[in-house]
Amino acid sequence: MKQLFRATVAAIVAALGSLAASHAFAATPSPCGKDDALQIRGDTPGAISYDVYSQLRPLTARRLALFQDAGTVKRLPDGLDVCEIADDGVADPTAVLVHVPRGRMAWWVSAANVEEAD
């Protein structure tokens, strides 16, 4: 009887947790301002810091693999909606700092790989 009660309580807690998570996900408005909404154009590597972004250049498969293995670079897929962080503190027009909505990280990407969102 105790095992059945524990299993029932665990199932209820799991259901409530997933319901709360889906409600929070649906209720969260897009954090992008109208002028900050961008979209990734072509699969592109996103670097966790500007230093890593600058070390990727020139971009080669070997460098990319090393940085991905280290967890400092992530491939951002074509068509991904992102928000530009306009006040990035770097005066490099070839680099754009973006934030993935509902993501935890900001990523440095090449300006050639972003476009205004529709």
10, two tokens: 């665990």
Q: What is the pLDDT of residues 86-105, one digit of tens each?
A: 889 999 999 999 998 888 88
Helix (H) or strand (E) holding 62, with range, is helix 61-70
**pLDDT-above-70 percentage for the chain:** 71
pLDDT per residue as tens digits for the range 25-51: 333 445 677 668 999 999 999 999 999
Q: Which of 52, 39, 112 is nearest to 79 (CA)?
A: 39
DSSP label at 101?
T
Q: What is the pLDDT of residue 103?
A: 84
